[in-house]
Structure 1
Amino acid sequence: MARNARERLLDTAERLFYAEGIRAVGIDRILAESGVGKASLYRHFPTKDDLVLAVLRRRDGEWRQWLRDAVDERGAPPARRPLAVFDALAERFAWADFRGCAFINTIVEAADPGSPAHAVADEHKRRLTGYLADLLTDAGHSDPQAMAPRMTLLVDGAIVTALRERSPAAAKVAKGIAEVLLAS
């Protein structure tokens, strides 16, 4: 039962933090919606910050796995796999519950670069950049370590633009820019 309570807390907190923001959602709301008691919450997560970090770490792994799977499912040859990232993002941007990037949102809310939440969000972006560098290496790009941060910038820009415009079209635009960069 303890694992079940922990998972319910994580599921509820993740859903609410993503939809409404970390600061806007209080512990009492998470408890009410998860059906978990306060003692159980504090046994698993002594503070709200501990819960936030656990949510972010879990989401990091799940999101990066989703992206890998979505790119793999497209079956693109190695040279086109870096561009398949944007096709996957376009699909994600069209989801009814799309609210941007949980990690960009966290960086905005936890603006202090020394905060643990900011550090976890930053690490997520570094891992994304590493994944893009791997795709670029497999594609035979001449300088994947220099190109990967540029691709991450395009991913982040597409995410923010898709949220602002409420449209997946930003992924197509970012893909076009990436094609030009990769061809140069």
Structure 2
Amino acid sequence: METEIVSSVSDRRRAEVIVDAAGRLFLAPGTGRVSMDELARELGMSKKTIYRHFPDKHSLMTAVLDRQFAAVERTLMAAAAETEGKPFDEQVQRFLLAACSELGRIGAAQLATGRGDAVLRRHVEQRIDAVVYQRLDELFRDGHRRGLLSAPPQLLGEITRGAVERLLNSQLPRELDCSAADLLRTTVDTVLYGAIRPGIEQEKGS
């Protein structure tokens, strides 16, 4: 039997309530597979009601993921707007820190590499590519066009993409007591400026 709160809302609002609950249950850190029965119990509604809005679990998960990535996209657009007209390195840092924080928050790396079925994993990969990496590639291409980068933008894009994905899946942030975003900042600095400080060898030899 459906609860009074859920059954009294409009169809549109009910669909939003279902997506909200599905996101909490399906994307919770460390959570195994959550069944539609468990979701129905959480919502206090029948599975039949859920299926009236979402014909299967796949369509429901797609709605959950699309909502998550819409939030990521808004965050990245805000980061780009905040750094407009500022130095290029600051634009890159701000964009990547926002991206890493958002992807870590929604567990995108885990979704892309293991949780869920193959179709959903491909959906996550496509959304990450469209929302994050295509924007990152354009940012590097713009920096190259302006003569701000000596390395090919494609190379920088691949290096940074690998760093983001590795850090989100790595135990290194925990081992170093840092967030993945903090380590990504160091990675970006290394990519943009190099790891060797000028003058160190001369100082040692003097």
From 177, 188, 191, the equivalent of 1:178 is: 188
Matched, 1:138 2:142: yes
Matched, 1:70 2:74: no
1:5 positional shift: 1.1
CA RMSD, Structure 1 to Structure 2 (Å)? 3.1
Alignment partner, residue 122 of structure 1: 125
Matched, 1:109 2:114: yes
Structure with larger Rg:
2
Higher relative contact order (CA 8 A, sep 6+): 1
CA distance in 2, matches of 1:83, 1:161: 20
Give % identity. Answer: 23
Q: After superposition, what is the alpha-carbon deviation per residue over 1:79-133, rounded to whole angstroms, capped at 9, x for unaligned? A: 121111344367x48xxxx965432222233476xx2101111102312210111
Q: Contact 1:71–1:88 (CA<8 Å) still a contact in 2?
A: no
TM-score of the two chains, using structure 1 as the length reference: 0.77
Pair 1:31–1:164, CA change in 2 (3 A): farther
* Aligned-partner residue type, residue 122 of structure 2: A
Q: Contact 1:99–1:163 (CA<8 Å) still a contact in 2?
A: no
TM-score of the two chains, using structure 2 as the length reference: 0.70
Q: After superposition, what is the alpha-carbon deviation per residue over 1:148-169, rounded to whole angstroms, capped at 9, x for unaligned? A: 2321222223323479619544
5+ residue gaps, structure 1, are: none
* Aligned-partner residue type, residue 67 of structure 2: R
Pair 1:18–1:130, CA change in 2 (3 A): same
Alignment partner, residue 200 of structure 2: none
1:64 positional shift: 2.3
From 12, 17, 27, the equivalent of 1:8 is: 17
Q: Contact 1:162–1:170 (CA<8 Å) still a contact in 2?
A: no
CA distance in 1, matches of 2:73, 2:125: 14
SS in 1 for 2:27: helix
